[in-house]
Every structure is written in structure tokens, then in C-alpha cells.
Structure 1
Amino acid sequence: MAEHPNAALVRKGYEAFTRGDMDSLRGMMASDCTHHVPGSHLLSGDYKGQNSIIDLYQRLFQETDGTFNVQLSHVCVDGRGHAVSVHRYTAERNGKRLEQNGCLVFRIVGDKFTDIDECQEDMDKESEFWS
């Protein structure tokens, strides 16, 4: 059985992110897409629009001297425009190492991401890493 188109879109997004292919990622987002980063650290907040989101993604690499790495585990869909990805991510920054699970909740209209909610396994650990 073929993979659901929303799951395939999410996988394609992770592949582009891993390659650092921000142009491909931009093409997968609606122009007014928003990425929500929870917590209380330097990257927390709502990133509205393609440019703002791409800046966030580039900053993940810059702040970690290119050590930010994400490994997609699986994608679940509901067939109504939502997809949830589960991943493990690692990074090093200022002598600290972060390794934990996370997920992204995508809202998809047509073939574009319109909203991305980020969830983390341990928000305190995340905030301490980025402080």
C-alpha cells in the first residue's frame, strides 16, 4: 500500500532539512505558515512566514556549529490534514550536549504545511541547553 501523501510530504521535509536544503523546505510551506517553538529560551516563540521559519532552521545549525541532527522515527496521519512526526535529535552547544525525543504536529492544506507545532520530551532540558 502506498504511503499517505501527507506522510510522504513530512518525510520529504525531514530529508530536505537534513540536507540543509532550505529552498525545498520553503516550497513545502504555505507563505503564511507558522512554526511554534515552546519553552522559554532563545529560540522559543512563533515564527510566522516562510522566511522566518527558514531563519529559525538555519539558526539551529548556526547555534550548534552544525551539530544539530534529527533522525525521523515515524509519521502518523489522520487523513484530515494532520500529521505527527516522531524523531530523536541531538546537538552540541557551548560544551553542552542535548539528546532527546521530540515531535512535530503538522497542519497540511493541499500539499503545503500551514502550521507546525513543536513538542519536546523534556522542556526544562531543552531550555537549559539553549540558555
Structure 2
Amino acid sequence: MAEHPHAALVRKGYEAFQRGDMDTLRGLMTGDATHHVPGSHPLSGDFKGVDSIFDGYYGRLFSETGGSFRVELLNVFVDGRGHAVSVHRFTADRGDKHIDESGGIVFRIVGDKITDLDECVEDIEKGNAFWS
């Protein structure tokens, strides 16, 4: 049985992110996509538009961690109505801090493009401490 197109889209996005292939990843999103990041730290908030997502958030994930940020996709669930939910594990080092956490993203997909990403984390306070 073939994988649902929304699950395949999310999987392709994770693969591109992990490779650092931002051109491919950018092509999977609408120009006005929004990535919502939980917490109360310098990287949390709403990043609206692909330039804001890539420069304001993804670029900072890599720069703040000296390129050590890694994410492993564990599973993708779909509802067949434009939503997909990923479950992943992420690790990073920042100065003398290390994080190893589970999280996920709720994706809104219209047509074949991602329009909205709502990130969820296992422990918000742990994330706040790591990124602050």
C-alpha cells in the first residue's frame, strides 16, 4: 500500500531539513506558511512567511547550536483532510547545554503544500532553559 501523499510530503520535508537542503524544504511550503514555536525563549513565537521561517527560525536552530541540531522522524499520522502529525526526537548542543527531547509538529496541508506548522514539545520548561 502506498504512503498517503501528506505523510510522504512531511517525510520529504524532514529528510530535506536533516540534509540541510533548504531549497527543497522551501519548495514544500506556501510563501505565507507559518511555523508556531512553543515556549518563552528567544526562538519561540510565530514565524510567518518562508523567509521568516528559514532565516528567523531554521537558520538560528543551526547557528545557535553550532550545526549540532539533529532531528529523527519517528512517525507520521494523517487524517486525509489536510492534517498530518509528526513525532520526532531532536538533539542539540549549545555551549555547555545538551537537549535530547521528543516532540512533534501538527501540519496543515493545502493541495500539495504545507501552510502551517504547529510545533509541540515534550517539556516546554526544558526547551526554555536550553534556548535561553
Percent identity of equivalent pairs? 69
State the Cα distance separating 1:59 from its structure 2 match: 1.0
What is the distance in 1 between the residues matched to 2:63 and 2:44? 16
What is the distance in 2 between the residues matched to 1:115 and 1:23? 18
- 2:32 partner amino acid: D
User: Once the two structures are superposed, what CA deviation does each residue of 1:22-74 show, in whole Å capped at 9, x if it has no partner?
Assistant: 11111000111000001100101100001111111111011000100000000
Gaps of 5+ in 1: none
What is the distance in 2 between the residues matched to 1:69 and 1:58? 13
Partner of 2:88: 87
TM-score w.r.t. structure 2 length? 0.98
Structure 2 matches for 1:48-87, cutoff 5 A?
Answer: 48-55=48-55, 56-87=57-88
Partner of 1:5: 5
What is the distance in 1 between the residues matched to 2:89 and 2:25? 20
Cα RMSD (Å) of the superposition? 0.4
Gaps of 5+ in 2: none
List structure 1 segments (4+ residues) > 2 angstroms apart after TM superposition: none
What is the distance in 2 between the residues matched to 1:90 and 1:26? 23
Count of residues in Structure 1 that have an aligned counterpart in Structure 2: 131
